[in-house]
């Protein structure tokens, strides 16, 4: 799910690509009249030209994005922007993406008001309040919480990741609302929430529960991990999503990650088609931090041990990647790790192996010394 100002553009999912009669998509539109809007829209177009499709209409252009489509029509008085998506969650994300771009470059969203499908006020359609059901220690550095929640069906597709919203200790939770411009209005001051990105490890829509695994960082300032260690049945937090990626569409996967990526790798291995080959290299502190993962004829899991060295500084994941080699033509490389390893892994796959962009997804799950949204989460 996008954060305010996040233009999370990736190839459009296959279910949003027209293969015949037009899909029955939800849509909304807004007109902006501003002396600087043309330059701002030109910047948007230049930044994301790879996602543009030819409309064949003068003064009009269109993007196909991860969550839906955006169409811009220009005239002398400004621009009319239409967004469309398959459901209310994706439509709200599209509004948020565009409004975030406007806020970043115009420094205001004054005059930006949406008409059409979807709700632009009250509780976000992608928000859920969830409460702790149980807590279990999986390893010395991993805690699993099971949460209960209502109407979880939308979280079964559209990405593995969610943002957890932790209210201040000892205060009644105040949850975010939606502004008329399509951006989230976050509580502030004493009601400010702690926000962290996590992976849904398991989900049962019928029973109304989900599991999230938290990496425990001894001695670090990690509010979400502290919450997980001290959680009791009935504790309430918020959740927004889903977003991010799922299982890559490939027949030969190479997965790399440290402790923070272990939940995502575990879920991907469980959801692989039987014909897909997968090899995973996972960096943890030691053998005691291994957890049970899916097994199969086409799955190989290799554990790499830091033995007390700091995560992201041992060089184990880039080393495993180089030793493995670029391999088969159909190889897809997925990695989630600390920023230092992320940068080196990305350099290997892009510069040394020259893998095209559709055959790798390398993400910095966290960054040493950063916290909150800047740190990309704790686990």
One domain, residues 206 and 299: no
CATH code where residue 33 lies:
3.30.310.50
Question: Distance between CA atoms of 238 and 258, rounded to whole angstroms?
Answer: 26
Residue-wise pLDDT for 118-145, tens only, equals 977 899 999 999 999 999 999 999 999 9
- Give the pLDDT band (50/70/90) at residue 8: very low
Residue 19 reports pLDDT greater than 60: no
Same domain for 239 and 258, yes or no, is: no
| Whether residue 212 sits in one domain with residue 256 | no
Q: How far apart are CA 14 and CA 62, in angstroms?
A: 17
Are residues 46 and 88 located together in one domain of the fold? yes
**Number of structural domains found in the chain:** 3
Domain extent at residue 204: 127-243
Mean pLDDT of the 346-361 span = 94
pLDDT tens digits, one per residue of 184-220: 999 999 999 999 999 999 999 999 999 999 999 765 5
pLDDT value for 275:
94
Indicate whether 305 and 282 sit together in one domain. yes
Q: Would you say residue 371 lies in a domain?
A: no
Reported pTM: 0.89
Q: What pLDDT sits at residue 20? A: 35
**Are residues 273 and 165 located together in one domain of the fold?**
no
**What pLDDT was estimated at residue 11?**
35
Residue 3 lies in a domain: no
Using one digit for the tens of pLDDT, what is the confidence trace for 94-110? 999 999 999 999 999 99
Inter-residue long-range contacts of 319-324, CB under 8 Å, 24+ positions, other chains counted:
320/256, 320/281, 321/254, 321/256, 321/281, 321/345, 321/348, 321/349, 322/348, 324/254, 324/279, 324/281
* Residue 295 forms part of a structural domain: yes
40 is a domain residue: yes
Of 82, 116, 150, the domain-final residue: 116
45/80 same-domain check: yes
Tell me if 256 sits within 8 A of 334, measured CB to CB.
yes
Distances (CA, A) of 192 to 29, 49, 168, 197: 31, 37, 7, 16
- The pLDDT tens digits for 295-341 are 999 999 999 999 999 888 899 999 999 998 877 778 999 999 999 99
Q: For residue 158, what is the domain's CATH number?
A: 2.40.30.10
Domain finish residue from 183, 209, 243:
243
**pLDDT recorded at residue 21:** 37
């Amino acid at each position: 799910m996008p954060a305010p100002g996040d233009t999370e553009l990736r190839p459009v999912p296959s279910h949003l690509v027209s293969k015949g009669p037009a899909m029955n998509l939800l849509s909304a539109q807004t007109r902006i009249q501003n002396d600087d809007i043309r330059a701002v829209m030109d910047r948007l177009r230049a930044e994301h030209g790879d996602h543009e499709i030819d409309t064949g209409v003068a003064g009009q252009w269109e993007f196909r994005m991860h969550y839906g489509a955006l169409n811009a029509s220009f005239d002398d008085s400004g621009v009319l922007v239409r967004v469309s998506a398959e459901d209310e969650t994706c439509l709200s994300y599209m509004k948020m993406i565009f409004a975030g771009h406007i806020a970043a470059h115009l420094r205001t969203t004054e005059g930006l008001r949406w008409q059409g499908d979807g709700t632009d006020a009250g509780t976000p359609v992608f928000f859920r309040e969830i409460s702790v059901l149980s807590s279990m220690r999986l390893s010395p550095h991993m805690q699993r919480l099971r949460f209960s929640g209502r109407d979880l069906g939308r979280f079964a597709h559209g990405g593995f990741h969610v943002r957890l919203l932790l209210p201040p200790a000892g205060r009644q939770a105040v949850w975010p609302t939606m502004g008329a411009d399509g951006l989230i209005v976050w509580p502030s001051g004493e009601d400010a929430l702690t926000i962290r990105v996590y992976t849904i490890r398991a989900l049962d829509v019928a029973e109304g529960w989900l599991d999230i695994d938290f990496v425990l960082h001894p001695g670090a300032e990690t509010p979400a991990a502290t919450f997980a260690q001290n959680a009791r049945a009935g504790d309430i937090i918020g959740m927004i999503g889903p977003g991010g990626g799922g299982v890559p569409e490939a027949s030969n996967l190479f997965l790399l990650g440290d402790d923070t990526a272990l939940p995502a790798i575990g879920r991907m291995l469980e959801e692989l088609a039987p014909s897909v080959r997968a090899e995973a290299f996972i960096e943890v502190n030691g053998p005691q931090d291994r957890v049970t993962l899916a097994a199969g004829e086409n799955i190989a899991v290799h554990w790499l041990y830091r033995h007390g060295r700091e995560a992201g500084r041992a060089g184990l994941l880039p080393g495993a990647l180089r030793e493995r080699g670029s391999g088969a033509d159909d190889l897809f490389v997925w990695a989630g790790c600390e920023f230092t390893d992320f940068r080196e892994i990305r350099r290997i796959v892009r510069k040394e192996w020259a893998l095209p962009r559709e055959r790798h997804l390398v993400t910095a799950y966290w960054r040493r010394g950063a916290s909150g949204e800047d740190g990309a989460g704790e686990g």
